[in-house]
Amino acid sequence: MLAAMSPSPSPFEPAPVRAVRGRDDACPGALRLHAADDGALARVRVPGGLLSSDQVRVLADAATALGDGRLESTSRGNVQLRGLAADAGAELGARLRSAGLLPSDTHDRVRNIVASPLAGLPGAGADLRGWVRQLDELLQGSESARALSGRFLFALDDGTGDVAALDADVTLIAQPAGTALLRLGRAATAAPVADPVRAALAAAEAFVRLDSGSWRVREADPDGTLLAAALGLDPRPLPALPGTRPVVGEHDGALCVGLRFGRASAEQWRLLAATVDELRVTPWRGVVLPGADPARLPELAAAGLRTDPHSPWERATACTGSPGCAKSLADVRTEAAAALDATAGLAGLPVPPLLPVHWSGCERRCGHPVGEWVDVLATGDGYRISQLPGSATEVTNQQMAAAVAAARRTT
Point out which residues bind ligand SF4 (CB under 6 A).
319-321, 325, 327-328, 360-362, 364-366
Nearer to ligand SF4, 243 or 369 (CB): 369
Nearest distance in Å: CB 107, ligand SF4? 26
Q: Over the Cα atoms of the chain, what is R_g? A: 20
Nearer to ligand SF4, 132 or 259 (CB): 259
DSSP summary character for residue 354: B
Nearest distance in Å: CB 361, ligand SF4? 3
Residue 316: strand, helix, or coil:
strand
Nearest distance in Å: CB 82, ligand SF4? 12
Residue 158: strand, helix, or coil:
coil
Cβ(132)–Cβ(113) under 8 Å?
Answer: yes
Q: For residues 238 and 230, what is the distance between their CA atoms, to the nearest angstrom?
A: 19
Q: For residues 48 and 158, what is the distance between their CA atoms, to the nearest angstrom?
A: 12
Nearer to ligand SF4, 220 or 340 (CB): 340
- Neighbouring CB atoms inside 10 A of 389's CB total 10
Nearest distance in Å: CB 230, ligand SF4? 34
Nearest distance in Å: CB 354, ligand SF4? 22
Question: What's the half-sphere exposure (Cβ side, CA atoms, 13 Å) at 293?
Answer: 6
Nearer to ligand SF4, 159 or 283 (CB): 283
Nearest distance in Å: CB 320, ligand SF4? 4
Nearest distance in Å: CB 330, ligand SF4? 8
Q: For residues 129 and 50, what is the distance between their CA atoms, to the nearest angstrom?
A: 8
Cβ(5)–Cβ(371) under 8 Å?
Answer: yes
Nearer to ligand SF4, 212 or 320 (CB): 320
Strand (E) or helix (H) holding 385:
strand 383-386
Nearer to ligand SF4, 207 or 215 (CB): 215
Nearest distance in Å: CB 322, ligand SF4? 8
Nearer to ligand SF4, 180 or 339 (CB): 339
Nearest 10 degrees: CA dihedral of 95, 96, 100, 106?
-130
Nearer to ligand SF4, 21 or 34 (CB): 34
Distances (CA, A) of 75 to 113, 208, 228, 272, 361: 11, 24, 27, 19, 17
Strand partners, 287: 257, 281
Nearest 10 degrees: CA dihedral of 274, 275, 281, 282?
-160
Burial class (CB in 10 A: 0-12, 13-18, 19+), 134: middle
Strands 154-157 and 170-174: parallel
Nearer to ligand SF4, 339 or 362 (CB): 362
Nearest distance in Å: CB 332, ligand SF4? 7
Nearer to ligand SF4, 200 or 378 (CB): 378
Nearer to ligand SF4, 161 or 283 (CB): 283
Nearest distance in Å: CB 378, ligand SF4? 8
Distances (CA, A) of 91 to 85, 97, 407: 11, 10, 46
Nearest distance in Å: CB 77, ligand SF4? 19
Cβ(291)–Cβ(278) under 8 Å?
Answer: no
Closest CA to 50 of 98, 118, 110: 118
